Amino acid sequence: MLLRRPLLSALLLCLAAASAPAQSPNAEIDARIRQEETEHSQIMHTMHFLTDVYGPRLTGSPNHKAAAEWAIKEMTSWGMQNGHLEAWDFGHPGWVNERASGYAIAPIHDQLYFKVLAWTPSTRGTVTAQAAVIDPPEKPTQEQLTQYLDSVRSQVKSKIVMVGKGSPVAVNLDPVTHRLDDKAAAERFDPNNPNAGQFGPRGGQQPAPDPNVLTGAQINEQVDAFLISAGALMRVNDAHREHGQIRAFNNRTYDLAKALPTVVMRNEDYGRIARILADGTPVTLEFNIQNKTYPEGKTSYNTIAEIPGTDKKDEVVMLGGHLDSWHSATGATDNAIGCAVMMEAARILLALGVHPRRTIRVALWSGEEEGLLGSQAYVAQHFGTFENPKPEFSKLVAYFNVDSGTGRIRGASVFGPPESATILRTTLEPFADLGLAGAIANKSRRLGGTDSTSFAKAGLPGIGLGQDPIEYQSATWHTNLDTYERIIPEDAQKSAIVVAAAVYELAMRDDMLPRFTAAEMPPPPPPAPGEAPRATPAAGNASTPKPKN
Which pLDDT tens digits describe the chain residue by residue (549 residues)? 433 333 334 433 444 444 444 456 689 999 999 999 999 999 999 999 999 999 999 999 999 999 999 999 999 999 999 999 999 999 999 999 999 999 999 999 999 999 999 999 999 999 999 999 999 999 999 999 999 999 999 999 999 999 999 888 888 888 777 898 888 999 899 888 877 765 444 444 556 778 889 999 999 999 999 999 999 999 999 999 999 999 999 999 999 999 999 999 999 999 999 999 999 999 999 999 999 999 999 999 999 999 999 999 999 999 999 999 999 999 999 999 999 999 999 999 999 999 999 999 999 999 999 999 999 999 999 999 999 999 999 999 999 999 999 999 999 999 999 999 999 999 999 999 999 999 999 999 999 999 999 999 999 999 999 999 999 988 999 999 999 999 999 999 999 999 999 999 999 999 999 999 999 999 998 876 555 444 333 333 233 333 343
Question: Can you tell me the distance from the alpha carbon of 296 to that of 85, in angstroms, rounded to the nearest whole number?
Answer: 15
Confirm if 468 and 410 have CB atoms less than 8 A apart.
Answer: yes
Confirm if 437 and 183 have CB atoms less than 8 A apart.
Answer: no
End-to-end CA distance of the chain: 48
* pTM of the predicted protein model: 0.90
Length of the chain equals 549
- CB contact set of 415 (below 8 Å; sequence gap of 6+): 441, 442, 443, 444, 445, 452, 455, 456, 459, 460, 461, 462, 463
Q: What is the per-residue pLDDT for 397?
A: 98
Question: Kind of pairing, strands 262-265 and 114-116?
Answer: antiparallel
Strand partners of residue 294: 94
Question: Can you tell me the distance from the alpha carbon of 293 to that of 451, in angstroms, rounded to the nearest whole number?
Answer: 26
Nearest Cα neighbor of 193 from 438, 444, 469, 502 is 438
The sign one gets for the Cα dihedral 52, 54, 59, 60 is positive
Q: Is the peptide bond preceding residue 391 cis, with omega within 30 degrees of 0?
A: no
CA angle (180, 181, 183) in 5-degree steps: 120
Q: What is the per-residue pLDDT for 276?
A: 98
Q: What is the per-residue pLDDT for 82?
A: 98
DSSP 82: E
Confirm if 239 and 475 have CB atoms less than 8 A apart.
Answer: no
DSSP 295: G
Strand partners of residue 415: 442
Which residue type does 411 have? G
Confirm if 387 and 458 have CB atoms less than 8 A apart.
Answer: no
The sign one gets for the Cα dihedral 128, 133, 139, 143 is negative
Q: What is the per-residue pLDDT for 178?
A: 86
Which helix (H) or strand (E) segment is 465 a member of? strand 462-467
Strands lying side by side in the sheet with 438-442: 81-89, 299-307, 358-365, 312-322, 396-401, 462-467, 409-415, 438-442
Q: What is the per-residue pLDDT for 531?
A: 53
